[in-house]
Amino acid sequence: MGGDKSLEQHITIPISHLNLAWPGAHSYDLPDQAVDLVKILEKHVDKNSIQNDWKLLNLFIGTNDLCQYCSNPKKHTKEYFSNNIKKAIQTIKQSIPRVIVNLIVIFHLDLVRQVDATPICQGLHT
């Protein structure tokens, strides 16, 4: 259905308070960001809305971790990366009901090389 109300009537809280992303963030920042998100929700949203309203959380992560891997591969392993994400999601799961977490990671870099090798892409990138 839908279309019965305007966007302003569907949004229940100011979105700008909820954007905790920053350039250069890494997976090791996610657990603290999850805790901060819970605190912000508790401060700015009434308890009834937190309990009853559905929420969508987008997590964009991976590119900066990949760069860190190059500088310290023994520390920045795939287990380290995934454990940081798991910690953040666990905090969210325990503290925020009715939330859909959309985990968006970097694309497969081998595909970039394959596409970049085509004559069309070579012409566009020169």
Kindly report the three-state secondary structure assignment for every residue of the chain: CCCCCCHHHHCCCCHHHHCCCCCCCCHHHHHHHHHHHHHHHHHHCCHHHHHHCCEEEEEEECHHHHHHHHHCCCCCCHHHHHHHHHHHHHHHHHHCCCEEEEEEECCCHHHHHHHHCCHHHHHHCC
Q: How confident is the model at residue 98 (pLDDT cuts 50, 70, 90)?
A: very high
Counted domains in the chain = 1
- The region of weakest confidence among 43-47, 70-74, 103-107, 108-112 is 108-112
Q: Is residue 12 part of a domain?
A: no
Q: How confident is the model at residue 1 (pLDDT cuts 50, 70, 90)?
A: very low
Q: Is residue 7 part of a domain?
A: no
Q: Is residue 4 part of a domain?
A: no
Range of the domain at 99: 23-124
User: How much is the pLDDT for 82?
Assistant: 94
- Structure tokens, 111: 């595909």
Q: Is residue 44 part of a domain?
A: yes
Sequence-separated (6 or more) residues with CB below 8 Å from residue 93: 99
Our CA angle for 84, 80, 26, nearest 5°, is 55
Q: Is residue 86 part of a domain?
A: yes
